[in-house]
Copies of this chain bind each other. A is one copy, B any other.
Amino acid sequence: MLRDTNIEFRFRVYVKEEPYLGIGRIELLENIQKFGSIAKGAGAMNMSYRKAWQLVEDMNRLADRPLVEKRLGGSNGGGACVTEEGLEVIRKYQELEKEVRQFIDHKAQEIRF
């Protein structure tokens, strides 16, 4: 039996039962890193600035150390950068994603839905 099947998965990290990291938040961190700004990072993924700001606040609060450093003020709402801790979190998330992907692909060959 060879069927055209594939398995998609998602995972979320919670801290004290609160959502901390998911695919959308990781993408937001990557975009902030890329554009050096929460507003531009959010805009690149069609997320409102308000929403992005709230997510950054939540992540910073739940992290051991802030993931994003905000620079307030300026005509476009100030810049922002992802901290070392933030870059490490992105890396860990992507590492886990890759490993789970490999695990599921391997298992799927045995299980065959």
A40 to chain B, nearest CB (A): 26
Indicate whether A42 reaches chain B with its CB closer than 8 angstroms.
no
Kindly state the separation between the CA atoms of A7 and B10 in the bound complex, as whole angstroms: 10
User: In whole angstroms, what is the CA distance A40 to B99 when docked?
Assistant: 40
> In the complex, are the beta carbons of A5 and B11 less than 8 A apart?
no
Q: With the chains together, A17 CA to B6 CA distance in Å?
A: 8
**Chain B residues with CB under 8 A of A13:** 5-7, 113
Copies of this chain: 2
Query: Which of the candidate stretches A28-36, A50-58, A70-78, A88-96 sits at the interface with the other chain?
Result: A88-96
Secondary structure type dominating chain A contacts: mixed
Looking at the complex, which one of B21, B95, B108, B113 makes contact with A20 (CB distance below 8 Å)? B113
Q: Which of B6, B12, B95 contacts A14 (CB 8 A)?
A: B6
> Would A99 and B92 count as touching, CB distance under 8 A?
no
Nearest Cβ on chain B to A24's Cβ, whole angstroms: 14
With A89-B113, A95-B111, A107-B99 in contact, is A14–B20 under 8 Å at CB?
Answer: no
- Which residue of the partner chain B has the closest CB to A22? B8
